[in-house]
Structure 1
Amino acid sequence: MKVYDGTQSETTRTDDPERVKIGIAEYQVTTDSAVLTTSGLGSCIGVAIYDELSGAAGLVHVMLPTAEDVEGGNRAKFADTGVAVLVEALEAEGASRDGMRAKIAGGSDMLDFSENGSSIGSRNAEKVRETLEAYGIPLVGEDVGGDHGRSLRLESDTGNLVVKSANMDSATL
């Protein structure tokens, strides 16, 4: 039985890692064994970055390709500035860009309203890749595109990114 008042029942496991939910246009960084989760990835992209040496890991849920024409606002909302804010937060926790590795998922074309040019999902994926490359962070795994939604679970103690896709089996990147 799970008790949500801050106390634990006798049957609650105390060795389970903390679960931290990241919403749309949010990010989180951890240096412990927390599991970072996000859901509702359609055209949005989940960017997971892990640094094995420092043990720092982070996840950002970006929804649009670029913050180019937006003043102020939430940096985590956009692919370019979302990657930047995640890298900065990881560095503040002792991570080094030399040790960082990235994995991404999402960017589907579920609701493609574009008549000319590429969809939001594919533009999000392209901008995330460009930004990671600009920071010198290798992209070591991805599950992007298609026409289905995804949910993610970043296991911060291993750097594994578990991707659950609608109507499909889970995959670990």
Structure 2
Amino acid sequence: MQHRFQTFDRYPTHTDYRFVDWDEYAVGEERDLLGTDGVATCLAITLYDGEKRRGALAHISGIYQDIEELKPQNIIGTLLSRLEDAKRIDLTKLEATLSGEGCISSERQRCSPIVKSKLKEYGIPIIGEDLCRAPARLVFLHCDTGRVGVYRA
């Protein structure tokens, strides 16, 4: 199995990608490149189905989120429903990554434990994490390969 989660201590060279803003999410297909930036105290989540070459990227601002579908306890269900809207998704084929929460000192304010619990509930393995190590990140999901690149700014 190839290593599909990588961190880099440099800026990416990608210029042509679908931008996912703060408190947004996107679903991509085979040729799409999804990306987000400014992932510091926020959490970036990717889900990927290698069989269908379909993925999702979400950038959620945190535990006190006002948008119901983006709350930590709801985001995985939201992404799964969006992935399933276009094509049938087999949950056993999905993999997840998590990045962010670099500047949060209080464990109570972290939303990654809630998201991890939901992933476990759905039986979705986390293949990579980059939590609490850098003040800001750019995160890219290559929907053709499932590769996730985390660039520490």
TM-score interval, smaller chain: 0.7 to 0.9
Residue of structure 2 equivalent to 1:98: 92
For residue 153 of structure 1, what is the aligned residue in structure 2?
A: 140
Which ranges in structure 1 are unaligned for 5 or more consecutive residues? 1-15, 167-173
* Match 1:32 to one of 30, 33, 56: 30
Q: Provide closer, same or farther for how the CA distance between residues 119 and 148 of structure 1 changes in structure 2, counting only shifts above 3 A.
A: farther
**Secondary structure of the structure 2 residue equivalent to 1:98:** helix
Q: Give the alignment partner of residue 137 of structure 1, picking from 115, 124, 130.
A: 124
TM-score (norm 1): 0.73
Judge which range, 83-92 or 21-30, deviates more: 83-92
Q: Output the TM-score relative to the length of structure 2.
A: 0.81
The alpha carbon displacement at 1:146 in A equals 2.5
The list of structure 1 runs, each at least 4 consecutive aligned residues, that deviate by more than 4 angstroms after superposition, is: none
Q: Is the 8 A contact 1:36 1:153 kept in 2?
A: yes
Which one-letter code corresponds to 1:26 in the other structure?
Answer: E
Identity across matched positions, percent: 24
> Distance between the aligned counterparts of 1:146 and 1:32, measured in 2?
30
What amino acid is aligned across from residue 58 of structure 2 in structure 1?
A: V
The 8 Å contact of residues 25 and 56 in structure 2, kept in 1 or not, is answered as yes
Letter in 2 for 1:98: T
**Structure label with greater radius of gyration:** 1
CA RMSD of aligned residues (A): 2.1
Within 2, Cα distance between the matches of 1:66 and 1:52?
Answer: 32
* Equivalences, count: 139
